[in-house]
Amino acid sequence: MKRTASLALLSLLALPLAAAEPPKRSAAWEANCTVCHGDDGRSQTEEGLKKRARNLADPKWQASVSDGRLESSIKRGHDRMPAFGRKLSGEQVKALVAEIRGLVKPGS
């Protein structure tokens, strides 16, 4: 009985550690976006640097763009970023926009 209780306590303590790990990206992100924007959205990958992809996790930039603008950039492309409107459904694009919003940590 005692042992069960301490095991439960241990797993509770482990929870915040798991939450502190970098967030995993969705399958659609991994398949289409990671090559340039990386898993953290900061675009420090070889392709991202070559194409000068922006830091999508920059809170100042995020505050300056609307969801509609992000959606249309993903669908139609933007400068050297390719268009994904034929490859991804509207729902997938919306989910990716939400994922980009999630890159900004609260308070940063």
Phi then psi dihedrals of residue 22, to 5 deg:
-60, 140
Which of helix, strand or coil describes residue 81?
strand
Q: Which is nearer to ligand HEC, 21 or 26 (CB)?
A: 26
Q: Which is nearer to ligand HEC, 2 or 86 (CB)?
A: 86
Q: Which is nearer to ligand HEC, 42 or 51 (CB)?
A: 51
Q: Which is nearer to ligand HEC, 7 or 65 (CB)?
A: 65
Question: To the nearest whole angstrom, how small is the minimum distance from the Cβ of residue 20 to ligand HEC?
Answer: 25
For 78, which DSSP code? B
* Interface ranges with ligand HEC (CB under 6 A): 32-33, 35-37, 47, 51-54, 56, 65, 69-70, 73-74, 78-82, 84, 96, 100
Question: To the nearest whole angstrom, how small is the minimum distance from the Cβ of residue 59 to ligand HEC?
Answer: 14
Q: Which residues of 40-58 are buried (b: 16+ CB within 10 A; e: fewer)?
A: bbbbebeebeebebbbbbb
User: Cβ atoms within 10 A of the Cβ of 106, count?
Assistant: 5
